């Protein structure tokens, strides 16, 4: 069993920065890929960024490329999402996720999820 816990969300002005953290506990060796998704009210979860746990290869949605950076610290079992140049349209609940299969942009392929954390960007 793998448990994920997000932290670092909050309220920031447009153009500002936030760093989200996702602490992984439990059977961490079974986690192959990790990702961040976000969900707007009443909509499906959308892919934001992903990283392979062992190789550190990263992938981004076009909407965040160049502004967000995903990273991981294996020693701390923690994944991060550094969000710069935030826009009001980045306002959403952000979810940390993991799977045993590898990189994917589909939320249905991720079996492990955090509880979600609110990010609000004011204009």
Token digits of residue 41:
């009210």
What are the backbone dihedrals phi and psi of residue 12, each rounded to the nearest 5 degrees, phi first? Answer: -145, 150
Look at residue 84 in the predicted model and tell me its pLDDT.
98
Q: Which tokens go with 98?
A: 């993991």
Residues with pLDDT less than 70, the chain: 28-31, 55
Kindly report the length of the chain: 123
Q: For residues 117 and 115, what is the distance between their CA atoms, to the nearest angstrom? A: 7
Question: How confident is the model at residue 97, as a pLDDT?
Answer: 95
pLDDT at site 10: 97
Q: Are 116 and 95 in contact (CB under 8 A)?
A: yes
pLDDT of residue 74: 82
């Amino acid at each position: 069993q793998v448990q994920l816990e997000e932290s670092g969300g909050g309220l920031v002005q447009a153009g500002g920065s936030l760093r989200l953290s996702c602490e992984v506990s439990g059977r961490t060796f079974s986690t192959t890929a990790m990702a961040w998704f976000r969900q707007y009210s009443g909509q499906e979860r959308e892919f934001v960024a992903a990283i392979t746990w062992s190789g550190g290869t990263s992938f981004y949605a076009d909407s965040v490329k160049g502004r967000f950076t995903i990273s991981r610290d294996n020693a701390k079992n923690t994944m991060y999402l550094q969000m710069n140049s935030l826009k009001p349209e980045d306002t959403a609940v952000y979810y940390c996720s993991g799977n045993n299969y590898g990189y994917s942009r589909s939320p249905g392929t991720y079996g492990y999820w955090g509880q979600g954390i609110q990010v609000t960007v004011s204009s």
